Structure 1
Amino acid sequence: MIFFRVTQNINIKTTDGTMVYYNKLKTPSELENETVYITTYDDFVDIKEIFSRVDKTKYFAKQLNEKNIRNIPNFPIELGIINIDEAKKREEQNNIDFFDFVETDIFKQLKNIQKDEINVALIGGVGSTISEIISSCTALRILYKKLKEVYKNIKFDIYINASNNSYYTRDKEIYKTQKYINNIFPLSITSKKLCEYDYFIDNSMNMNKLLDELNSVDAWLYKFGINYKKIDETEKYNELDLINYKPQDTLIQKIDEAKRKGKLLLFHPYSANINKSIPQAIAIDLLKELLAKADDYLIITTLQIDSKIKEDNYIDLSKESKTISDFIYIVSNMDKIITTDTSTYHISDAFMIPTVVFFTDKNFEKKIKYYKYIKPIFVKDKTKNLSKFIYENEKLTIYKSESWRKVKVDKIIKLLDNF
């Protein structure tokens, strides 16, 4: 975490319209007040960039002495792996992954609190992509259940990056599907507000080192100070609750009409990462084959694959899938799914939907370690670059589609039918 003050009053608007107010520190002042701010390292970098764009001669975010603030009498106890002097360590090691993830026991950090409810602030989210957040929230849910073994009631508030997070609204929607989370707020948080909590967990640190070694659920359990080896695998499932979501009538109607015609099969060939996506021409060919051979299913898509396809057993819901909640709702109504390595299979796991997933990452087995309804197909990338330059030139790459062309629809259908 970073502790700082600002030199001039300024307001920052998040993508959902929420305003985050920053007011100049009035001196002399106690460090437990509404003008001492705390945020993650990444969010602090964004704040400095915003201030610079406004007026680099007047607006500054100046770091404060972390030790002085942590010594405030009401400062809450930090749980999990402790993250002290993050800014200093990053500067000394040129922002390299310096974190020492020393094994911690969260139960030895807890104090005896004589009240019915404890409050826990989570500073920073548990990922930046849809896939990361959904899978990592599984660890967050397990953390909540473990704390419930000690305390009667627990209130989890999560504070996520907001200063220059174009996905803030989307991320907030995902966290709202987790029924154990009390509320979601934008960073920064004031020292006065943080001191209202009994505990806090600092998620500012770079998790890459842990995530390289462990499955995401185990990595975050380790970060929270929970022995992931002692958690039953049956507890490591994704969970998404759409109780706060109201789908559009047109979406409900289209899905209901489709269900009356037959079983629904979602075909999701593209990822935000081009290296994980099925090449467009091959995706179209696969779709046409599915329409011809998957007799028992209506093929559903939320992507614009080919506007020329007008088959009776094909339904394009791309116009209805506008938000992450729309997409989760659509996935939850499917009977089977075919997808690439994207958020779709993390969502389908929450609804126990049989899913065939194409992976181009050879380490895919670590990702799906606890997923019981996944059947993977590994597609080895045989791309060769003829360019001698550092930059990539699409025209100078060959064999990019060779492995994808070996994917057979008959094999996919067989895998789906054998669930």
Structure 2
Amino acid sequence: MEKIGNRPPAPPTLLEPLDELAALTHPGSLRSPAGEIVASYDLEVTDAPVAGFRPLSSRDGILNANVAAFVPNYASQKKVHVINGVGVTLGDSIIGLTALFAIRKRHPQIEFTVYRPSRAPRYVQRLYELAAPALGPVVDLPVALDRLPPGDLKIDVGNHLFWPNFSTLPMIDFFLWAMGMCAADVPPEEKRNHWLKTLPPRPHLRDGAGYVLFCPSASTPVRSIPAALHGPIVERLWDEFGLPVAGFGAVDHPRYTDVTAHSPDTADFLNWVRHARYVVTSDTAALHIAAGFDVPTTAFFTTIAPQLRARDYLYCNAVSVPLTGLAGIQASSQARDLEAVDEAYHKLDLDRVLFSVSR
């Protein structure tokens, strides 16, 4: 009789398939019935069927900090695979890449391969193309699981919006933790997105001409500055700086210019922020870019605590606009919520908060 000890190990048991809701909100990436790594974001935006999809797991050789903490030996690694990283919005992606660059600073031998949801917005994908020469290749999902070399370090950061720590940690600390790093070991100056300064310079329409930048529209209306305040804010910026105000979207004010048509590419958007004398925004992408270039900024926060996004930004005047009952929500365009936003903004003393340092 064959001894049990001489038998080859049994293959790991796959986790049970997820139902549709669980697959789309799973805090991690998915494994398809065909053995491919899949981003649930891609399934959601294409309304694709999700039958038979399972969680990607350590049984597949993939680490996920939301499942189990890990401390990788980066010093021994040459290639690190970041699965489904690091976001489908521009702001999240800037911060996630900051975490990867912090690792590269300590371990310059590492080449990252970042596997991305293929359906993410083009302007977000463009950011990864700009970062790739300094960081490593970017690959669209899905990819076959067995395509990833078995000896390389593989870390899943997929669908991070549904990770509990994403709502409670400053975003840069979250991404460092998700990559197995101790956030406290990374000094604040490395958390300010300065990797953006290393991107190749581009010609700019306003080179040599001073302007202030106004970015009042966030990714969701509940985090945006109400339209009724756009004109008064532009007027206040003109009074303060004596410079024309540029921005994205229409504002009825003689000192304001909509430069949307002159910002067709993510690199152009970076340039508009980079060369501004001052930025006023409720768009965290503009905030993170301004921090990367050390541009003084006033940033308004409604449903999210300022310290979760702007804690390490030396030149940021973070203004909290309290919204009772709406704290922590990711998005809303409901009329009652927008009425609450409008009321909260109108309670602010703009002359006092626009340029006061509230850190």
Q: 2:107 aligns with which of 139, 147, 164?
A: 147
Q: Distance in 2 between matches of 1:396 and 1:175?
A: 34
Q: 1:127 aligns with which of 78, 83, 87?
A: 87
User: Helix, strand or coil: the match of 2:322?
Assistant: coil
Which residue number in structure 2 is paired with residue 356 of structure 1? 298
Q: 2:246 aligns with which of 284, 295, 300?
A: 300
- Asked if 1 retains the 8 angstrom alpha-carbon contact of 2:57 and 2:63, the reply is no
Indicate whether 1:394 and 2:335 are aligned. Answer: yes
- Asked if 1 retains the 8 angstrom alpha-carbon contact of 2:298 and 2:318, the reply is yes
- Asked if 1 retains the 8 angstrom alpha-carbon contact of 2:70 and 2:180, the reply is yes
Deviations 1:347-403 (A, max 9, x none): 10000000011121352122211111101122233799xxxxxx9863898565333
- Asked if 1 retains the 8 angstrom alpha-carbon contact of 2:216 and 2:283, the reply is no
Q: 1:343 aligns with which of 285, 290, 298?
A: 285
Q: Distance in 2 between matches of 1:219 and 1:42?
A: 20
Q: 2:127 aligns with which of 174, 192, 197?
A: 174
Which residue number in structure 2 is paired with residue 95 of structure 1? none
Q: 1:287 aligns with which of 218, 225, 234?
A: 234
1:170, distance to aligned residue in structure 2 (A): 1.9
Q: Distance in 2 between matches of 1:68 and 1:412?
A: 48
1:66 to 1:354, Cα distance in 2 relative to 1, 3 A: closer
Q: 1:222 aligns with which of 172, 177, 184?
A: 177
- Asked if 2 retains the 8 angstrom alpha-carbon contact of 1:120 and 1:199, the reply is yes
TM-score (ref. length: structure 2): 0.76
1:204 to 1:340, Cα distance in 2 relative to 1, 3 A: closer
1:215, distance to aligned residue in structure 2 (A): 0.9
Q: What RMSD over aligned residues (CA atoms) do the two structures have, in Å? A: 3.6
Indicate whether 1:275 and 2:222 are aligned. Answer: yes
Indicate whether 1:38 and 2:40 are aligned. Answer: no
1:398 to 1:211, Cα distance in 2 relative to 1, 3 A: closer
1:193 to 1:246, Cα distance in 2 relative to 1, 3 A: farther
Which residue number in structure 2 is paired with residue 201 of structure 1? 155
1:242, distance to aligned residue in structure 2 (A): 7.0
1:121, distance to aligned residue in structure 2 (A): 1.9
Q: 2:114 aligns with which of 148, 153, 158?
A: 158
State the 4+ residue runs in structure 1 displaced beyond 6 angstroms: 64-69
1:341 to 1:393, Cα distance in 2 relative to 1, 3 A: closer
Which residue number in structure 2 is paired with residue 190 of structure 1? 144
TM-score (ref. length: structure 1): 0.66
Higher strand share: 1
1:147 to 1:61, Cα distance in 2 relative to 1, 3 A: farther
1:272 to 1:4, Cα distance in 2 relative to 1, 3 A: closer
1:272, distance to aligned residue in structure 2 (A): 2.2
- Asked if 2 retains the 8 angstrom alpha-carbon contact of 1:123 and 1:200, the reply is yes
- Asked if 1 retains the 8 angstrom alpha-carbon contact of 2:296 and 2:316, the reply is yes
- Paired amino acid for 1:255: R
Which residue number in structure 1 is paired with residue 266 of structure 2? 324
Q: Distance in 1 between matches of 2:296 and 2:86?
A: 26
- Paired amino acid for 2:90: I
Q: Would you say how many aligned residue pairs link Structure 1 and Structure 2?
A: 323
User: Helix, strand or coil: the match of 2:298?
Assistant: strand
- Asked if 1 retains the 8 angstrom alpha-carbon contact of 2:276 and 2:295, the reply is yes
Which residue number in structure 2 is paired with residue 310 of structure 1? 254
1:297 to 1:69, Cα distance in 2 relative to 1, 3 A: same
- Paired amino acid for 2:314: K
1:344, distance to aligned residue in structure 2 (A): 0.8
Deviations 1:1-34 (A, max 9, x none): 433355xxxxxxxxxxxxxxxxxxxxxxxxxxxx
- Asked if 2 retains the 8 angstrom alpha-carbon contact of 1:264 and 1:335, the reply is yes
Which residue number in structure 1 is paired with residue 346 of structure 2? 405
- Paired amino acid for 1:201: I
